[in-house]
Amino acid sequence: MSHESYPTDRKNWNSILEVDSLSVTYETPTGGVQALRDVSLSLETGETVGIVGESGSGKSTLALSLLQYLDDNGQVTNGSIQFKDREIQNLPKVELQNLRGKQIAHVPQDPNTSLNPSLCVGEQISETIREHEDVTNQEARERMHEILKTVRIGDPEYNAERYPHELSGGMQQRVLIAMALSCNPELLILDEPTTGLDVTTQAKILDLIQELKDSFDTAIILITHDLSVIAETCDRVTILYAGEVMEQGPVTEIFNNPANPYTQGLLAAIPRVKEDRKLNPIPGKIPDLTEISDGCIFAERCEFSERDCKSGEITTEVVDERTNHQTRCRRWSDAIEDPIEPDIEPDRSSASTSSEELLKAEDVKKYFGENSFFDQIFGGEPPVKAVDGVDLTVNKGETLGLVGESGCGKSTLGSTLLKLLDITDGEITFNGENINSLDSSGLQEFRSNAQIVFQNPHSSLNPRKRVGNQLKRPLKLLTDSNNDERHERMSELLDQVGLDSNYASRYPHELSGGEKQRVAIARAFAAQPAFIVLDEPVSSLDVSVQATILNLLSMLREEYNSSYLFISHDLSVVKHISDRIAVMYLGEIVEVGSQKSIFEPPYHPYTRALLSANPDLDPNRESDRVQLEGNVPSPRDPPSGCPFHTRCPQYMGAKCEHQEPELKTIETDDGDTHQIACHLDEEELADEISR
């Protein structure tokens, strides 16, 4: 999205929403949590405003306040909310119900909990239309099919009859958007609409949001912790921290000339595809909002903080009157003059990494639902070919990144390499030994040397066990140590991941998401493993917490000389942490090479599509996205020939359909080993223009 045409003179805009000095408090047993304080913002017809901040900043509370959806213990204690010059806080219940869905629609973050699992998705959309419109069942059904087409769900008649669990995450998100748009609302509130989606699905959702905005002239509030999504889709942005507005203004102004240390800190914590840079996480964490200290709420974490920042009222100041760029900071001119910027990181491709193999996979296959002999005779569903003939090596002391869309087999491959899943065919060797032929003692030694960190620490940590006990357990199972040694090692692990010793007595629910992930990482390192599979370990974390975890993983790898298989759909994160990268599609590796070679042409058409779909922090960048048609084919019935040919923008015909390409070596200027599985020659692969 280009922001060059965005008008800076806002006097001629038609205001649709005005929030003035809004404050919200939640009553809890430990006191009143002041979730929002003195928040003001405005929204014009056809405009998209982004709301950004760390978890606990009040983003979702703001969205729920606009809809009057606050929990029973939540209350607006000050300020006003006007929708089309009409105060909505004290509307009668009937009028408020008519407003919701009809004029203001909300797309919640998680479609898994927002869609009714017992109703077909088409009926859920039709029900919304019937609730707000005077239409017959047939008219509602016809409009439902039409809106499914609008959100680019193919074969709407068929998909309308499917239940939520039968749809992919991206399709579920589009169903929620379809439901929200079904009555042509004037204001659409999107709460983290792309969190957890892979880059191509995210790109489709972002393109869809832009198309809907252009077609319906809908005003949009987009809530996210991903600043690159804001840069790509929004006209203006409001930065929230601990319930207060820290900075707001046009996206181009905020991203190119941030005037608040908090905004600068968020931008400095983000890895970028086009730059090699160190990550600077913001120190500390959001304060307890039951007791608001005097002065700047960010002062304890701010690099520019001085004594007078910690007392008195911090007023909002105008940075640029022409663009209405505002910041809440006494040191904003110092921040502009000497901004927080990360240092350039040395080129990882030139770093010396060991060429000694630690783990090797040869023609590894993992199928689910294989037919019995009886089924093979009388017919049955073919197996799901989750991993279908993968060759892969991980060297000692290196990080191998593994990227691809959801459902391509990344997590299954990681679990199979650790023998958490039984292999269907092929061979996996670890330190030269076939792991399938290990006896019980050899298997226990392998378990101590090969660990995993899962994506979601909420479900991987035992909610009934204290942190200390969960760190001691792998030591008890996998090492020959006594209780005193285990206790000493537990304290050492907590210290290494930046947690105090008092965390040992806490339960997981008493920890933040980032703290839980640190505990999960500490547990994986307990027995000092040589190899760790990291399965999307930072995908749901705020940018500052993500930066902290990535820096921690890099430090631990150097300290223990461990090797990582780092699984992610975020290419900027993978580029930052990896030495080599493998690209996976439909159970197969289609490209593998050094971190540098993967991000420069020549590259596989699928890799090019992934790179083009990765959102950029530059709000002025014109999109050069490679559009992939259709969905990933079913792994039950993968295409013949090249698995990518059904979606490839450089499809050549019969050769792609019938002949499967082998991984061929591409010569690079610096001698890197770079392999691509494609029938196109090197010059065609290097061509930047898709056919």
What gap in Å lies between CA 52 and CA 498, rounded to an integer?
26
What pLDDT score was predicted for residue 142?
A: 94
Query: pLDDT digits over 244-257, tens only?
Result: 999 999 999 999 99
Confidence of residue 431 (pLDDT cuts 50, 70, 90): very high
What gap in Å lies between CA 457 and CA 476, rounded to an integer?
21
Distance of CA 244 to the CA centre of its chain: 24
Query: Do residues 533 and 565 touch, judged by C-beta distance below 8 A?
Result: yes
What pLDDT score was predicted for residue 5?
A: 44
pLDDT > 50? residue 11: no
What gap in Å lies between CA 370 and CA 366, rounded to an integer?
10
pLDDT > 50? residue 7: no
* DSSP string for 572-623: HHHHHH-SEEEEEETTEEEEEEEHHHHTSSS--HHHHHHHHHS--S-TTPPP
Name the average pLDDT for the chain.
89
For the residues 361-388, what does the mean pLDDT come to?
80
For the residues 333-340, what does the mean pLDDT come to?
94
Domain ranges of the chain: 15-103+185-337, 114-184, 358-615+624-686
Query: Do residues 536 and 568 touch, judged by C-beta distance below 8 A?
Result: yes
What gap in Å lies between CA 675 and CA 247, rounded to an integer?
46
Give the SS3 label for residue 330: coil
Percent of the chain with pLDDT over 70: 94
What gap in Å lies between CA 414 and CA 402, rounded to an integer?
9
Question: Which string of b and e fits 357-379 if b means at least 16 CB within 10 Å?
Answer: ebbbbeebbbbeeeeeeeeeeee
pLDDT > 80? residue 345: no
What pLDDT score was predicted for residue 285?
A: 84
Fold: same for 15-103+185-337 and 358-615+624-686: yes
Out of 3.30.9.90, 3.40.50.720, 3.40.50.300, 1.10.10.1150, select the CATH number for domain 15-103+185-337: 3.40.50.300
What gap in Å lies between CA 629 and CA 645, rounded to an integer?
11
Q: Alpha helices, DSSP H only, in 257-346? A: 261-268, 332-337
Query: Do residues 664 and 646 touch, judged by C-beta distance below 8 A?
Result: no
What gap in Å lies between CA 554 and CA 575, rounded to an integer?
13
Confidence of residue 190 (pLDDT cuts 50, 70, 90): very high
Q: What is the largest CA-CA distance in the chain?
A: 82
Query: Do residues 177 and 111 touch, judged by C-beta distance below 8 A?
Result: no
Order of strands across the sheet with 433-434? 384-395, 357-368, 425-430, 433-434
Query: Do residues 679 and 652 touch, judged by C-beta distance below 8 A?
Result: yes
pLDDT > 50? residue 324: yes
* 358-615+624-686 has CATH 3.40.50.300 classification: yes
For the residues 192-211, what does the mean pLDDT come to?
82
Q: Which long-range contacts (CB under 8 A, 24 or more apart) does 644-649 make?
A: 644/585, 644/586, 644/590, 644/604, 644/605, 644/606, 648/605, 648/606, 649/605, 649/609, 649/690, 649/691
Give the single-character DSSP code of 301: G
How far, CA to CA in Å, does 395 sit from each of 361, 432, 575, 618?
12, 12, 17, 35
Confidence of residue 670 (pLDDT cuts 50, 70, 90): low
Percent of the chain with pLDDT over 90: 60
How far, CA to CA in Å, does 200 sit from each of 227, 275, 585, 616?
17, 21, 12, 14
In terms of phi and psi (left: phi > 0; alpha: psi -120 to 50; beta: otherwise), the region of 534 is beta
* DSSP string for 457-506: HHHHS-TTS-HHHHHHHHHHHHS---HHHHHHHHHHHHHHTT--GGGGG-
In sequence order, the 6+-apart residues with CB closer than 8 A to the CB of 77 are 23, 24, 25
For the residues 470-499, what does the mean pLDDT come to?
92
Beta-ladder partners of 368:
384
Q: How far apart are the first and last CA of the chain?
A: 23
Burial environment of residue 87 by CB neighbours within 10 A (0 to 12, 13 to 18, 19 or more): exposed
pLDDT > 80? residue 265: yes
Backbone angles phi, psi at 34, to 5 degrees: -85, 80
Confidence of residue 690 (pLDDT cuts 50, 70, 90): very low
Provide the Cα torsion 109, 626, 4, 259; round to 10°.
Answer: 50
Model confidence, pTM: 0.88
Query: pLDDT digits over 605-651, tens only?
Result: 999 999 998 888 888 877 678 888 777 888 888 999 999 999 999 99
What gap in Å lies between CA 169 and CA 173, rounded to an integer?
6
